[in-house]
A and B are shown apart, each in its own frame.
Chain A
């Protein structure tokens, strides 16, 4: 029933102990090698090599159009939904499994790799139905189980106290920040391993942003988080690693501290010090 049996090969591999670790001792969860990605004839990513550590927050930064969102959407194969896109070269392995492999079902992949979008997008349904959607489509209809998951996910997204009395009202009636946390709750309800966040705070005011950032700190205990952001302060505040992209290329990837305090590449330095971008 839930996280159906067809996911078995991927799931089993995901459960295996990490195969490698990087210099700082963190184990690698996602291993991207020599990735070239195209929108039709236009190449968007050039020879990306990146190892994303497990249970850490990794930030992708860079000016608009640098390919950071594209790479993020490669990780749960959301780009498949756009006609004419293709990975022409290279591999993306999650715990050693190539997610673009022929036998991989993108539906199963997306159950393991959740995503939060730039603009909060709750379904035009009740709060309760928004959270249970991911389970219901997997065939879970047990009321007790759904109730548990709703409470757990809303607590996990620090939203429970604010909405517990109106679970059956429309999710569209919440404020912008609450809607975004509802989307996070909806994502963690299906218990993914990785959460992708595509500029989750760009439409939020500073207070709502602070709440989401606080939440990210909490979530990284359980999940591996990859966040695309335009705000360098945000990257500095909440990520462990930062990758800087420019013109579809990965320029530099290091500990966040190093990227901001001691960048090795002059382009990175120019960007983080605000001289362009």
Chain B
């Protein structure tokens, strides 16, 4: 700014166009106002930057910690014991198949043969004896696993205690108490020496495994007779499954023989264990797993259910309000739909638990709704309940933005269509909706962003079971309880130790959510921009 003294001498009063502006800290009023608004914009950008930075800072060390977590899992031999555990769990799955078979047989005896419960059970005595022997055959393996597991956990506990003491000593040194620090005893853990206690049992295991295989083959060779052809076919299937199962034994032994507790855990493994990990298991006495897949699929499932409901409702309402409604209807409908977004989501969550969840559970039992996938269900809180409410939350977003997009379609298109003899419906379907399509798509995407980020409703209504939904169940997967990325952060953040691996894992989940939201918004903006150009 040129100082006032530089102004040339005032011209003749007849042409007085010069004026001394009031200055505040050397700035004119206009510049102050400009600075104020500019400052606000800068603050918004800085805050966004700080949030990103903070998420990165808190989350970044997770992958290193998870690498340590995974290498302890290997060094202490937990991984070794899990070979046997996997084998045991597959056997449990087979016994579940048998109990299912027994239930079918029992039902057949009671319904088709008209027997009382006691008589029907009596008929199944030989089956029970068969199932019992099959189930008991695993006992030697289970005993071995239990013993080895204790050894492995003991090694891990000692290692972790030692790590804690190292930390304690470092803290004392930092606090200026070297004497007390020296008093903290440390030990060096000889993993190689300890692990021998596990690996030395391999011949024992091989023997047990061999005996187990023989026993299973023997038991399965003489199946009990069952009443119907269908059930007999199932028994044959069971025999096949068992044969497949036994065939995996040598591979297990091979893997255990090749196993090396010193094999390093690569940094990328910590990464893949997070992204593709199928388990989210914390505060476990055995091993903690931080796999985001169950949470991600849960979020995705709930969001898809929500969009399936919200897209037809929101877009349909937008078309109706913009194209078909009378002014009076417009004045009534628009604020009503927009009001939905004013309802606090925790209130919607309550409604979901108390009313909607209960209603859906009762409704799922109605005879005429039996065609609906997953009906009837017993869990009141599941993906469907949460999805319905989330759909309700997404409706205002989709409605408002889609209505805007439709409103932006030039009136001239509509008039041209009518002038060619089109009906209202033809004009809407063939001209208005295609012209607004990119706007509508971006409205749907932003609705998705709204839904994926929603926390309270899913926390209250989704059932919070941390497991990948069983997609083999087909469409009825929607009635399973799930957990979500947002829900897990809200639920667990309060009870974790700051700085612990669990704490950092939650931040990384937050980071992932942040990136998903960023991506959705970015794509939506791109689409909208293209749309504006195309309409010109």
B420 is contacted by which of A108, A110, A119, A172 (Cβ under 8 Å)? A110
Encoded as 1 (CB less than 8 Å from any A CB) or 0, chain B from 406 to 421 comes to: 0000101111111111
Contact A123–B431 (Cβ < 8 Å)? yes
A116–B416 CA distance with the chains assembled, in angstroms: 8
**In the complex, what's the smallest C-beta–C-beta distance from B215 to chain A, in angstroms?**
71
Contact A121–B416 (Cβ < 8 Å)? yes
Report chain A residues within 8 Å CB of B421: 107-108, 110-111, 134, 137-138, 190
**In the complex, what's the smallest C-beta–C-beta distance from B58 to chain A, in angstroms?**
48
Answer whether residue A183 sits at the interface, using C-beta atoms and an 8 A cutoff: yes
B423 is contacted by which of A76, A78, A107, A114 (Cβ under 8 Å)? A107
Report chain A residues within 8 Å CB of B417: 123, 133
**In the complex, what's the smallest C-beta–C-beta distance from A24 to chain B, in angstroms?**
30
A134 is contacted by which of B420, B535, B536 (Cβ under 8 Å)? B420
Contact A187–B419 (Cβ < 8 Å)? yes
Answer whether residue B498 sits at the interface, using C-beta atoms and an 8 A cutoff: no
**In the complex, what's the smallest C-beta–C-beta distance from B136 to chain A, in angstroms?**
72
Answer whether residue A46 sits at the interface, using C-beta atoms and an 8 A cutoff: no
Answer whether residue A40 sits at the interface, using C-beta atoms and an 8 A cutoff: no
A78 is contacted by which of B418, B431, B435 (Cβ under 8 Å)? B418
Contact B415–A187 (Cβ < 8 Å)? no
Contact B430–A133 (Cβ < 8 Å)? yes
Answer whether residue B38 sits at the interface, using C-beta atoms and an 8 A cutoff: no
Q: How large is the interface on B (under 10, 10 to 19, 20 to 34, 35 or more residues)?
A: 20 to 34
A76–B410 CA distance with the chains assembled, in angstroms: 20
Residue tally, chain A, CB below 8 Å to B: 27
Report chain B residues within 8 Å CB of A136: 430
**In the complex, what's the smallest C-beta–C-beta distance from A275 to chain B, in angstroms?**
34
Identify which of residues 497-536 in chain B touch chain A, using a CB-to-CB cut-off of 8 Å. Answer: 534-536
A90–B419 CA distance with the chains assembled, in angstroms: 23
Report chain A residues within 8 Å CB of B420: 110-111, 114, 133-134, 137, 186-187, 190
A55–B420 CA distance with the chains assembled, in angstroms: 20
Identify which of residues 123-154 in chain A touch chain B, using a CB-to-CB cut-off of 8 Å. Answer: 123-125, 133-134, 136-138
Answer whether residue A161 sits at the interface, using C-beta atoms and an 8 A cutoff: no
Contact B419–A114 (Cβ < 8 Å)? yes
A216–B535 CA distance with the chains assembled, in angstroms: 29
Report chain B residues within 8 Å CB of A123: 413, 416-417, 431, 435
Answer whether residue B264 sits at the interface, using C-beta atoms and an 8 A cutoff: no
Query: A120's closest neighbor in chain B, by CB?
Result: B412
Encoded as 1 (CB less than 8 Å from any A CB) or 0, chain B from 273 to 289 comes to: 00000000000000000
A78–B435 CA distance with the chains assembled, in angstroms: 21
B412 is contacted by which of A76, A119, A133 (Cβ under 8 Å)? A119
Known interface pairs A124-B534, A172-B536. Does A137 touch B426 (Cβ–Cβ under 8 Å)?
yes
Contact B430–A117 (Cβ < 8 Å)? no
Encoded as 1 (CB less than 8 Å from any B CB) or 0, chain A from 182 to 198 comes to: 01001100100000000
Contact A121–B410 (Cβ < 8 Å)? yes
Known interface pairs A124-B435, A124-B535, A133-B430. Does A107 touch B422 (Cβ–Cβ under 8 Å)?
yes
Q: Which of B327, B416, B421, B426 has the most CB of A within 10 A?
A: B421
Query: A119's closest neighbor in chain B, by CB?
Result: B412
Query: A111's closest neighbor in chain B, by CB?
Result: B421
Contact B419–A137 (Cβ < 8 Å)? no
**In the complex, what's the smallest C-beta–C-beta distance from A187 to chain B, in angstroms?**
7
Answer whether residue A83 sits at the interface, using C-beta atoms and an 8 A cutoff: yes
A121 is contacted by which of B415, B422, B430, B434 (Cβ under 8 Å)? B415
A187–B411 CA distance with the chains assembled, in angstroms: 18
Report chain A residues within 8 Å CB of B414: 81
Contact B430–A78 (Cβ < 8 Å)? no
Contact B422–A76 (Cβ < 8 Å)? no
| Chain A residues in the interface with B (C-beta under 8 A) | 76, 78, 81, 83, 107-108, 110-111, 114-115, 117, 119, 121-125, 133-134, 136-138, 172, 183, 186-187, 190
Q: 11 more A-B contacts (CB under 8 A) besides A78-B415, A117-B416?
A: A108-B421, A114-B419, A123-B431, A124-B413, A124-B535, A125-B434, A133-B420, A134-B420, A137-B430, A138-B421, A172-B536
| Chain B residues in the interface with A (C-beta under 8 A) | 327, 410, 412-423, 426, 430-431, 434-435, 534-536
Q: Which 9 A-B pairs have the closest CB atoms?
A: A111-B421, A121-B412, A115-B419, A134-B420, A110-B421, A137-B426, A137-B422, A121-B416, A124-B435
**Residue contacts A-B, CB under 8 angstroms, 27 given:** A76-B419, A78-B415, A78-B418, A78-B419, A81-B414, A107-B421, A110-B418, A110-B420, A110-B421, A111-B421, A114-B419, A114-B420, A115-B419, A117-B412, A117-B416, A117-B419, A122-B416, A123-B413, A124-B534, A125-B434, A133-B422, A133-B430, A134-B420, A136-B430, A137-B422, A183-B416, A186-B416
